[in-house]
Amino acid sequence: MNIVIKSLSVSAVTFICLQVGLPALTAASKRVVASTQAVSKALPLIMKSAEDYVEQKSCFTCHHQSLPVTAVVRAKSIGFEVDRKWLETQRKFTADFFLSRRKELSKGKGVPGGAFTAGYALAQFISTSHATAVEDVNQVPRLPGTDELLEYLLQIYNPERPWKINTIRPPLESSDFTATGLAVAALGTYEPEQLMQRMKEIRHWYGQTQAKTTEDRAFQAMGWYWLIHSEYAFHAKRSLPTEVRNRPGEVQMPDTQADAERMMEFIAGLRDRQREDGGWGQTDQMESDAYATGLVLTSLLMVKPSLYREKWVVKGVQYLIKNQESDGSWLVNTRSKPIQEYFESGFPHGEDQFISIAASCWSVIALSQFVESHEFEDN
- Please write the tens of the pLDDT for every residue from 260-304: 999 999 999 999 999 999 999 999 999 999 999 999 999 999 999
Question: Terminal CA-to-CA distance of the chain, rounded, Å?
Answer: 28
In this prediction, residue 161 has a pLDDT band, given cuts at 50, 70 and 90, of: very high
Q: The CATH number of the domain where 174 resides is what?
A: 1.50.10.10
* Closest C-alpha among 370, 360, 289, 279 to residue 327: 360
Distance (Å, whole) CA 171 – CA 132: 31
Statement: residue 305 has pLDDT above 70: yes
DSSP for 300-330? HHHH-GGGGGSHHHHHHHHHHHHT--TTS--
Domain range enclosing 63 = 5-378
pLDDT tens, position by position, 188-228: 999 999 999 999 999 999 999 999 999 999 999 999 999 99
Q: If you average pLDDT over residues 154-174, what whole number do you get? A: 96
Statement: residue 21 has pLDDT above 70: no
Question: Which uninterrupted H or E stretch holds 289?
Answer: strand 288-289
Give Cβ neighbours of residue 248 (< 8 Å, ≥ 6 apart): 136, 138
Question: Which uninterrupted H or E stretch holds 281?
Answer: strand 280-281
Q: How many domains does the chain have?
A: 1
The burial of 25, by beta-carbon neighbours within 10 Å (0-12 exposed, 13-18 middle, 19 or more buried), is given as: middle
